[in-house]
Every structure is written in C-alpha cells, then in structure tokens.
C-alpha cells in the first residue's frame, strides 16, 4: 500500500513539473512573439489616417471624431498640425517608447515641411507614459519646459482618474491656446 501511495505521489509530482515546464515554454513563446511584433512595428511604423491613431482603444469613435475635428479646425486656421498616437505594450517596449515616438514623428512628417510645425502626442496607458514631440518650428514658440507644464497640468490629472479623453482634449486645447496666444503676440 505504501509503495502504491508513493508511486501515485511520484507520478503526480512528475506531472506537475512537466506542466510547469510546458507553461514556461508557452509563456516564453508568447514573450518572443511579442518581441517579434514589436520589432516589426519598429521597422514599419503604421501609417496614420486622420489626426488620431488609437491602438490602445482609449477613446470612443465619437471622441476620436471630436479630437479630429478640433485639430482639423486648428490646422486650417494656423497650418500647425497635431497628431495623437496611443500605443499599448504589444507595439513597443517601455525602453523604446521615447525613441519610437521620435521615429513615428519623423516617419509621419507631421507639420508642413517648410515650417516644421508639427506636434505628435504619444500616449501609453500600459506604461503610464506620455511624450510630446514638437517640430523645430513649434520649439521656437513652445519650449520644452512649457510642454512639460502642459503635460503635468492638463493631461496627467485626468489620466490619473482614468479619463484619457478628457486629459487628451484638455491638453490639446491648451497647446492650441498657447500657440494661438504666441502667434498673436
């Protein structure tokens, strides 16, 4: 009887160990697949259609439409362009977030080439990060410190409450206000 019990316990332990190894293999395959996907995304950043590209599904369809309308009106008035990109952890590693933001800004060519007056706002809820890439023409009007202040005062408070649309809209409206005020000075 003892031998049978020991044999059952031994078989059970062997089964558990093999399942743990199998689970680790599946997890490592998932991680490897994500890394491959991130590398493909790095090499071929997506094209944008409209001003808002929402990979993280932070906004509803109506919210995207409203953001697009606000930015389109501003672009028609000033020629300045603002694009918004949300990225989840499947698209980029946390370490590459800032570098990918710059790469996408350059790849998309936001702003008029002769004015370099584009702004790319990149948001990742997964990593709790936001990056604003200002074109050289915008940097002459809005400093890095002013950009950081806009992030801290207008985006982040709403993001902390999980209100990504309100935070984004508030931030975009403040950027627009800042650019219009500076243009009028």
Q: What is the pLDDT of residues 131-156, one digit of tens each?
A: 999 999 999 999 999 999 999 999 99
Q: What is the pTM of this model?
A: 0.80
Which strands, in side-by-side order, build the sheet including 118-124? 52-54, 81-86, 118-124, 129-134
Q: Residue 46 has what DSSP assignment?
A: P
Distance between CA atoms of residues 10 and 132, nearest Å: 58
Q: Which of 121, 122, 113 is nearest to 142 (CA)?
A: 121
Tens digit of each residue's pLDDT (9 = 90 or more) over 115-132: 999 999 999 999 999 999
From residue 104, give the alpha-carbon distance in Å to each of 141, 155, 157.
Answer: 22, 21, 26
């Amino acid at each position: 009887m003892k031998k049978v019990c020991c044999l059952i316990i031994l078989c059970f332990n062997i089964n558990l160990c093999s399942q743990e190894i199998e689970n680790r293999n599946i997890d490592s395959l998932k991680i490897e697949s994500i890394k491959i996907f991130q590398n493909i995304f790095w090499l071929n950043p997506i094209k944008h259609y409209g001003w808002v590209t929402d990979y993280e599904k932070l906004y509803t369809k109506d919210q995207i439409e409203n953001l697009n309308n606000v930015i389109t009106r501003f672009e028609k008035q000033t020629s300045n362009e603002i694009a918004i990109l949300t990225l989840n952890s499947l698209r980029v590693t946390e370490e590459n977030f800032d570098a990918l933001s710059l790469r996408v800004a350059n790849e998309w060519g936001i702003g008029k080439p002769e004015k370099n007056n584009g702004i790319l706002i990149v948001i990742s809820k997964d990593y709790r990060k936001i990056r604003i890439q200002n074109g050289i023409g915008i940097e002459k009007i809005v400093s890095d410190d002013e950009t950081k202040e806009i992030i801290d005062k207008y985006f982040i408070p709403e993001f902390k409450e999980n209100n990504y649309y309100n935070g984004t809209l508030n931030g975009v409206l403040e950027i627009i206000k800042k650019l219009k005020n500076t243009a009028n000075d």
